[in-house]
Amino acid sequence: MAQRAVWLIRHEPGTPLCGTVRFSRRYPTVEKRAKVFNGASYVPIPEDGPFLKALLFELRLLDDDKDFVERRDSCTHINKTTIYRLSFGGEELWPVVAFLKNGMIYASVPLVEQTLSPHPPLISISGISQGLELLFGIQDFLYSSQKNDTELNTKLSQLPNLLLQACPFGTLLDANLQNSLDNINFASVSQPQKQPAWKAGTYKGKPQVSISITEKVKSMQYDKQDIADTWQVVGAVICKCDLEGIMPNVTISLNLPTNGSPLQDILVHPCVTSLDSAILTSSSIDAVNDSAFSGPYKFPFTPPLESFNLCYYTSQVPVPPILGFYQMKEEEIQLKIKVNLKLHESVKNNFEFCEAHIPFYNRGPITQLEYKVSFGQLEVFREKSLLIWIIGQKFPKSMEISLSGTITFGAKSHDKQPFDQICIGDTAYVKLHFSILDYTLTGCYADQHSVQVFASGKPKISSYRKLVSSDYYIWNSKAPAPVTYGSLLL
C-alpha cells in the first residue's frame, strides 16, 4: 500500500487556469515500483500543470467547459466513486483519487501492484483506501481550528516535514498529521526514545479506553410515485486509548443485534494491524442479503496517543427513522402548507433534540401566519422567512404529528431576504435536525466486555453511541425537486 503522488489544488473559478497547485509531493521509489508492476500499461505521473488541467476537466470545474464529452458525460459513464481516470496525450492515468472540499481539491495516485490493462477491481487495490485516509487526514489538519488564509499557508508550509513522518516513501503510517506535528515539537525538546516514527512519548496515568460511535443519517424524501425516497447511514468510530507502555495492543469488536443492518464500505485507520477479509469485501454496491457478513467486526490495533478515527462505514438500513411528507401550494397572495412526520416504531423515542426547519426562500418577510400544530411548538422568524417546529424530546404515543398553516409575505427585499437557486417557485423543503443519544440506526455497538487490552494495569472501558441527522430533507410533493440516488448520498 503506497502512494505515487499527492496534490492539493485550490479551485479558483474565474482565473485563467481555474485553479492553483498549492502543494504536490512525488515518491520516486514508489514510481519505480509502479513501472515494474504495471509493465506495458504503465503511465508516468505528469507535471503539475498538465495534471491540474486534466483533473479540473474531469471534475467539470473549468469555466469554459460547457460542451458534452462522450467519455466523461455519457449516462453510461456515471461515476459513483471518487476514483477518476485522466487523459494525457493519448495515455490514461488511473486510478486517481480526488474530491473537492472547502474550495480545495485533494488528490492522490495510489500504487497498483499489477497490470492496469484491463483495470482490476477497485476492491483489490489497497492503496485507494490508504489514499483516501491520507487525504482525509490532510483535510482535517488544514481546517481544524484554521481561521484565515495566513493560518492555512502556515499549515501548507508544514506539510513537507509532516509527510516525512506520517507518510515516508509514500506509505501511510498515521493519518493524524497533528500527531506528527506534536512528534516534531516533542523531539525538539526531548531526548530520542526508542519509539515508532508515528508515536513519540508514552502515556503515564490511569489506563482507560473510550469508544464513541456516531452515525449520521441522510435522507431525501419526495412522497411521489415516480421518484423513490433515498436514505443512507454513515458511521464513524472514534477511540481514545490512554495506556502505559511503548506499544500496547488493543482489540475492539463492533457487534450488531439479530436484526441489525450489516456494515459496509469499511475504511480503517492505518494503526489497525489485521482484518477479516469479509470486512474488507463488504460493499454497498452489492445487494444486501442473508449471507452478508454481520459481524462481529474485530479491529486489532496499536493506538496512537491522541484520539483517532478507528474506522468509517456505511449501511443500507431498511427504513429512514422519520418518514414525512410536505405539501406547499400558493393561493393568490398566500401560501398553504401541510407537514406530516411519523417516527418509525423501531426507532428509540427519546431525542436529545428534534426540530423541523421550514425555510421560504426568494420571498419577503412573514407578515401573517395562521397555523395549527398537533404537537410541539412553532417559532416564527419573520425577517428570515423561517419557521422552526420544535418537536422536543419525544413523539406522542401515536408516533405521528402534523402541522398546517396559511402564510402571508410582505414585499421582498433582495438585500435582506434569503435567496436560493434551487428553491424557485413552489420548490421547497423541510429539513429535520435531530439527535438520539445511546442509539444507532444500524444497532451497532461496542461490547465493553469483549474489548481486549494487552498493557499494564486494568483499564476503564467506556463506550458511547449517538445518531444524528445530516442533510435530512423532505421536499414539497406538489412541485419539482432535485433528485439524488442512494449510491450518491456520500
Q: What would the mean pLDDT of 52-80 be, rounded to a whole number?
A: 71
Cα–Cα distance measured from residue 334 to residue 380, given in angstroms and rounded to the nearest whole number: 16
**pLDDT tens by residue, 127-180:** 999 999 999 999 989 887 666 777 888 888 888 888 888 898 899 988 888 777
- Model confidence band, residue 460 (pLDDT cutoffs 50, 70, 90): very high
Written out in words, the top-level CATH class of the domain with range 208-319+441-475 is mainly beta
Cα–Cα distance measured from residue 369 to residue 143, given in angstroms and rounded to the nearest whole number: 42
**pLDDT tens by residue, 396-408:** 999 999 999 999 9
Give the single-character DSSP code of 476: B
pTM of the predicted model over 0.85: no
Q: Looking at the chain, which residues constitute the CATH 2.60.40.1170 domain(s)?
A: 208-319+441-475, 322-437
Question: Which one is predicted more confidently, 490 or 69?
Answer: 69
Cα–Cα distance measured from residue 218 to residue 473, given in angstroms and rounded to the nearest whole number: 8
CATH fold of 322-437? Immunoglobulin-like (2.60.40)
Beta 460-475 vs 208-221: how paired, if at all? parallel
Q: Which of 165, 163, 121 is nearest to 142 (CA)?
A: 163
Cα–Cα distance measured from residue 123 to residue 121, given in angstroms and rounded to the nearest whole number: 5
Written out in words, the top-level CATH class of the domain with range 2-183 is alpha beta
Q: Are 405 and 457 in contact (CB under 8 A)?
A: no
Q: Are 268 and 174 in contact (CB under 8 A)?
A: no
Q: Looking at the chain, which residues constitute the CATH 3.30.450.60 domain(s)?
A: 2-183
Cα–Cα distance measured from residue 283 to residue 74, given in angstroms and rounded to the nearest whole number: 25
Cα–Cα distance measured from residue 412 to residue 115, given in angstroms and rounded to the nearest whole number: 61
